[in-house]
Structure 1
Amino acid sequence: MKLFNRFAAAALLLATGVAHAGSISPYTAEACNAALAAGTPVVLEVHADWCPTCRAQAPIVQALVKDPKYEKFTVLVVDYDKQKDVRKQFNVAKQSTLVVFNGGKEVSRSTGVTAPEAIAAEFDKAL
């Protein structure tokens, strides 16, 4: 039954085109729920356009998702200023926070990290 649910979630992701592994998409509850249910690695990138740290993190996250090692990751970008309900749901107080999930469970969280190797190490916790 659990395996069926993962296949159903993966099919939903493909059918809706909302978010899929190896992608970076804006956060929606539907995309997040489907990605978490699929059991694949998911990263919530809490981003504010005005934040220099967020601007430094973004290209690093983009490069990591293109790396074959992380091709199964889905990155969902949470708008720090507009999605306060999502920040509250995931207990995120500050912008530039990365929350990493695997198997539907949080495995890592960091705030303000901009070193590529440190961000990769956070992603590695979901492998």
Structure 2
Amino acid sequence: MNKLSLKSTIVIISLLFIFAGCLKGSSSSSPFPAHSNTGQELNNAMHSGKPTLVDFYATWCPVCKVQSPITTALKQKYSPDKVNILEIDVDQYPGLLSRYNPEGGIPTLVVFDKNGDIFKIDIGLTSKEELESQINEVLNR
């Protein structure tokens, strides 16, 4: 093989491995929850008298894979008695995201106050510190 064809082969094989990791359902150790919350669960949470954080994600979304452990850490930090934290797979429940982000960008994180009103909408990767700040602000109102 000449140098050009060897380099091309290496690049193609590398790209195949990269894209194979991005395929929907290709990872057995998914960072996402086993259960995607439903619209009814969202409605119940919004009317519970507690702040609610909703993470709209898709399993094939690379940024969502980075966001998911942040959401999980917040679930561990905040008691379910004080804050509802839901994760909704937009592929399973496509109509829910369009209510809060008509453009459909993911991840979309929505913080609702104790009355179920929207406090903040973040689109894209959002830090744990930023989400904690939003949740704490709603808790202290």
In the other structure, the counterpart of 2:24 is none
Is the counterpart of residue 86 in structure 1 residue 65 in structure 2? Answer: no
In the other structure, the counterpart of 2:134 is 122
Cα distance in 1 for residues equivalent to 2:42 and 2:128:
24
* Percentage of pairs with the same residue: 30
Contact kept, 8 Å, 2:53 with 2:112, in 1: the verdict is yes
Once the two structures are TM-superposed, the CA of residue 84 in structure 1 deviates from its matched residue by: 1.7
Is the counterpart of residue 53 in structure 1 residue 63 in structure 2? Answer: yes
Is the counterpart of residue 108 in structure 1 residue 120 in structure 2? Answer: yes
Contact kept, 8 Å, 2:39 with 2:93, in 1: the verdict is no
Greater share of strand:
1
Moved over 6 A (4+): none
Post-superposition CA distance 1:53-83 (Å, at most 9, x none) = 111111111111211xx22221222212232
Once the two structures are TM-superposed, the CA of residue 47 in structure 1 deviates from its matched residue by: 0.6
Larger Rg: 2
Aligned positions of 1:16-27 closer than 5 A: 26-27=36-37
Secondary structure in structure 2 of the residue aligned to 1:26? coil
Cα distance in 2 for residues equivalent to 1:116 and 1:88:
24
How many equivalent pairs are there? 102
Secondary structure in structure 1 of the residue aligned to 2:110? strand
Cα distance in 1 for residues equivalent to 2:131 and 2:85:
13
TM-score (norm 1): 0.69
Contact kept, 8 Å, 1:109 with 1:122, in 2: the verdict is no
The amino acid across from 1:45 in the alignment is D
What 5-or-longer segments of structure 1 have no aligned partner?
1-23
Secondary structure in structure 1 of the residue aligned to 2:42? helix
Cα distance in 1 for residues equivalent to 2:35 and 2:138:
19
Cα distance in 1 for residues equivalent to 2:39 and 2:106:
19
Is the counterpart of residue 96 in structure 1 residue 125 in structure 2? Answer: no
- Label 1:115 to 1:37 Cα distance change in 2 as closer, same or farther (>3 A): closer
TM-score (norm 2): 0.63
The amino acid across from 1:44 in the alignment is V
Cα distance in 2 for residues equivalent to 1:94 and 1:125:
25
Aligned positions of 1:59-78 closer than 5 A: 59-67=69-77, 70-71=78-79, 72-78=82-88
Q: What RMSD in Å do the two structures reach over aligned CA positions?
A: 2.0
